Structure 1
Amino acid sequence: MKKGRILFASLAGSVIEWYDFYLYGTATGLVFSTLYFPNHDPAISILLAFATFGVGYAARPLGSILFGHMGDRLGRKATLMYTLIGMGGSSMLIGLLPTYAQVGLLAPILLVIMRLIQGISLGGEWGGAILLATENAPKGFRGLYGSIPQLGVPIGLVAGSFSLSFISYMTTDEQFMSWGWRIPFLLSVVLIALALWVRSGVEETPDFKQQKESGNLAKVPIVETFRNDWRNVLRAIGLKIGDGFFNVFAMSYVLVFTTVYLDYSRDTALTALTIGCATMLVTIPIVGYLSDFIGRKTIYLGGLTLLFLLSVPYFALIGKGVGWLYFMQAVMLGIIWAAVFSTQGTLFSELFPTKVRYTGLSVGYQVAAAIVGFGPMIWTPMAKSYGPSPWIFGGFMMAGLALSLVLSLFVQDTRKMVNPRYDESVKHVGS
């Protein structure tokens, strides 16, 4: 099987999953806070809307357990087909939901249900996409291959943001709030059909085939993961917490923060986000390639250190003018955070043996995601009480990054410790 098709299959699904996920995040502050959570106090509306955004993150650990079980028992390919269907179907239905003005309390309830399905699906997608790429990687290129699915995040976010921006530009404010915002959600159907077609032509990974042929499949993967690899699950959670909070802020909440508290226009905020994501498209594959030569740990530790040192300057400078906002998004999100993110999938996957790799990788990452997903619910009252204070918000980020930094010191560079087929010696890496 051609490696190019494998990489495209891992990327295509990742793009669409993140398109749907971040489309919701973009629409949260711009649309849902008004149409589904109306309140005389805008801050309350935003808080309630972002609570549903956080629900999607909270559901991701459940998805990691459910689809991790399927991925370690039935295979990576079959599981990834189900995650696509769940994500695309829920996104399409969001585009058809009635508003609060039409059906009252039922509207936000239905929105939360759809968001739960989104989160569960994404909880299984990320880990599977990483394994589809890394378990097919040739010797010495696992870091590069593992970085390719990560490109789905900036591409999906830009696509979701651009679709809303384009529809907003083509319609009046009244038309956009009435029906225009629904179009990008409905387009998910077309994208999902394309991704399903691409993935249907991909074979199961060699690692899972070998594991299945040996007859040594985990009976209950989540149980075996916590019995033998609980330390590495905790490591993955801690390693993700620090950059995770910054990620949620810089790729989602920044739209609210810059428009509500820094008085930038919606177009300016979206442009800044797009600049950061466009920069990531270059950074991620380059750093993924470099990680195969200088090591995942070196890059990870360096990226976290820079994020820690620049947290307060980031918040101090993004309010100084449009130029500074664009520059800091490019540097902090597009280069430094992207470098950390580029190595994450490969690094975390190398912590677990084949028989529980889908579950271990997914649970560690998604539990952390569930925690950081409620960042906006913390930041909204913070901003209301203290304003856009660089010391308050920067200090918050530094606290999470400090945890990840400490843990990264004790994680060994798995690049040098495992063979190209991820032998069972990784089972106790760092134990």
Structure 2
Amino acid sequence: MKKVKILLASLVGSIIEWYDFYLYGTATGLVFSSLFFPNHDPAVSILIAFATFGAGYAARPIGSIIFGHMGDRIGRKASLMLTLIGMGGSSFLIGLLPTYAQIGIVAPALLVVLRLMQGIALGGEWGGAVLLATESANKGIRGFFGSVPQLGVPIGLVLGTFSFTLISALTTEAQFMAWGWRIPFLFSIVLIVIAVWIRSGIEETPEFQRKKEQGELAKIPVVEVFKYNSKDIFRLIGLKLGDGFFNVFLMSFILVYATTYLDYSRDTALLGLTLSCAAMIVTIPLAGYLSDFIGRKIIYTGGLIAMLALAIPYFMALPVSTGWFFTMQVILLGVVWGAIFATQGTLFSELFPAKVRYTGLSLGYQIAAAIVGFGPMIWTAMGTNYGASPFAFGGFMMVGLVLSLILILFAPDTRVITKYEDDFEEEQITHPNNEAEQEKTVNLT
């Protein structure tokens, strides 16, 4: 029962964080470009709006350092409570913002500030949620446990896109643009209250607690992680870039791409995104469970190869028909990327020792996220110059995928070679009450 509560705590916060984050991504192309960044040229409005979207990604490394330091020095739980409040609070305030027509340039300025707050909070949330699950798991089930918080991405996005779809269906276009878009943002406050209540009832992770009791905490985690684990940080960044660019396209920019360049309706684009995320809810725990038997590396490598092979066919199939649009979204996002993402939390966390794990995991991941977050700006310019060219967009994706594929081939199989203290875990299972033996195992490790 205790393990179930921990998994629920890691998942519920992750759901809310990603609900808020992707709520902004959905609104960027549909609402913000016209209400907060009006311009006579729609392409310029979209470009500026996605610049603020990218700013949220750029702020995430800052959050990873702030909350990573807190998570490695004070505790995973304390850090996660603050990230939750920061993310949800900024989303709620976005729902109250007046538009450009009401207060002029101050409106987009405030929107950017709140977006930066979102990015900083999310920069600490993902790594903490992963560690809450993986550091509470025994050896042999860590892959499955690490996949559970990853479910926050598709569930959060489904909730976000569903809320926009529902409000859009219940309002006219004028009503939606006037006040309807605000409702999903304001609803964040309800979700935050629920998540804070659940997380307040959990304990600190065993591995962090053990390091704290032994006095082995890092004094300045960001300094120590670069001193002793810089290679793994750069490896993590490169591993994330390939699927990261494709992910941002599949889960955010696709709404602009489908409506602007392929003439699909907004509801069709949202439905395709929702269906693919629904498929991901099945793929993620299944791939996480499987990774405990065949390893994270095999699944990760296979996913990258599949994504590389489908890069250009995906863009060629999108304009053919609605059926092909839905099918390719489900395959590439719901199945292929879902399998890759299922392994990332566990794979990346197993590269770092406990005393700098929060910082190393979060910082590497969020630096990569900051880079891929500006993808929409690049794709907007590409669309203006080349239209919906499968070779331009597909070729762009393939460059990052090749880099990640090369790096994963030379990465360790973390199911076997890990920085988690597995000897201690095995001893706990065999002699859970033998403190002397536990201490002996820790010292040997």
**TM-score of the superposed pair, with normalisation by structure 1:** 0.97
Q: CA deviation at 1:420?
A: 6.2
| Distance in 1 (alpha carbons) for counterparts of 2:30 and 2:286 | 34
Judged with a 3 Å threshold, the aligned counterparts in structure 2 of structure 1 residues 420 and 354 are, in CA distance, closer, same or farther, namely closer
Give the structure 2 partner of residue 54 of structure 1: 54
**Equivalent residues of 1:354, 1:422 under 8 A apart:** no
CA distance in 2, matches of 1:123, 1:260: 31
The residue type equivalent to 2:371 in the other structure is I
Contact 1:138-1:420 within 8 A present in 2 as well: no
- Whether the 8 Å contact between 2:312 and 2:391 is mirrored in structure 1 is yes
What letter matches 1:249 in structure 2? F
Once the two structures are TM-superposed, the CA of residue 168 in structure 1 deviates from its matched residue by: 1.1
Rg comparison, structure with higher value: 2
Question: Offset of 1:252 from its aligned partner?
Answer: 0.3
Matches within 5 A, 1:330-409: 330-409=330-409
Indicate if the aligned counterparts of 2:16 and 2:191 stay in contact, CA closer than 8 A: yes
Instruction: Deviation per CA, 1:135-154: give whole Å up to 9, x if none.
Output: 00122000000000000000
Deviation at residue 194 of structure 1 after TM alignment: 0.3
Pairing 1:182–2:176 present: no
Task: Look up the match of 2:440.
Answer: none
> What amino acid is the match of 1:267?
D
State yes or no: 1:233 paired with 2:233. Answer: yes
How far apart are the structure 1 equivalents of 2:237 and 2:418? 22
Counterpart code for 1:81? M
Residue 161 of structure 1 is matched in structure 2 by 161
1:288 aligns with 2:296: no
Deviations 1:133-190 (A, max 9, x none): 0000122000000000000000000101111111111111111111111111111111
Give the CA deviation at 1:293: 0.5
Tell me: CA distance 1:419–1:229, structure 2 relative to 1, closer, same or farther (3 Å).
Answer: closer
Q: In 2, distance between residues paired with 1:224 and 1:372?
A: 26
Superposition TM-score, scaled by structure 2 size: 0.94
* C-alpha distance in structure 2 between counterparts of 1:78 and 1:380, whole Å: 39
Equivalent residue for 2:318?
Answer: 318
Amino acid at match of 1:93: L
Q: What 5-or-longer segments of structure 1 have no aligned partner?
A: 425-431
Shift of 1:94: 0.2
Code of the residue aligned with 1:293 in structure 2: it is F
Q: SS of the residue aligned with 1:311?
A: helix
Alignment of 1:188-337 (within 5 A): 188-337=188-337
Q: Which residue of 2 aligns with 1:123?
A: 123
What are the superposed Cα offsets for residues 284-309 of structure 1, whole Å, 9 maximum, x if unpaired?
00000000000011110110011011
1:411-422 to 2 correspondences below 5 Å: 411-418=411-418, 421=421
Q: CA deviation at 1:418?
A: 3.4
The 3-state SS of whatever aligns with 2:393 is helix
| SS, match of residue 137 in structure 1 | coil
The Cα offsets for residues 78-102 of structure 1, whole Å up to 9 and x where unpaired, read as: 1000000100110010001110001
**Native 8 Å contact 1:37 1:49 kept in 2:** yes
Query: What is the match of residue 429 of structure 2?
Result: none
Q: CA RMSD in A?
A: 1.0
Whether contact under 8 Å (1:353, 1:423) holds in the other structure is no
> Hey, what's the Cα distance between the residues in 2 that align with 1:305 and 1:186?
41
* 1:172 is aligned to 2:172: yes
Q: Show the counterpart of 1:96.
A: 96
CA 1:423 to 1:411, structure 2 compared with 1: closer, same or farther past 3 Å?
Answer: farther
Q: Which moved more, 1:54-63 or 1:169-178?
A: 169-178
| Contact preservation (8 Å) 1:94, 1:111 | yes
Please say if residues 350 and 419 of structure 2, whose CA atoms lie closer than 8 Å, have aligned partners that are also in contact.
no
Moved more, 406-415 or 351-360: 406-415
The amino acid across from 2:25 in the alignment is G
1:10: which partner in 2?
10
One-letter amino acid matched to 2:356: V
State which drifts further: 161-170 or 206-215: 161-170
* Offset at residue 125 of structure 1 (A): 0.1
- How far did 1:423 drift? 6.9
Q: What is the alpha-carbon distance in structure 1 between the residues aligned to residue 14 and residue 377 of structure 2?
A: 26
Question: Which consecutive residues of structure 2, in runs of 5 or more, have no partner in the other structure?
Answer: 425-445
Q: CA-to-partner distance for each residue in 1:326-367, whole Å, 9 max, x for gaps?
A: 000110000011110000000000000000000000001000
Task: Report the equivalent of 1:427.
Answer: none
Q: Distance in 2 between matches of 1:99 and 1:93?
A: 13
Identity, in percent, stands at: 69
Q: Shift of the alpha carbon at 1:33?
A: 0.3
> Which amino acid in 2 is paired with 1:19?
Y
Question: Could you tell me how far 1:22 is from its partner in structure 2?
Answer: 0.2
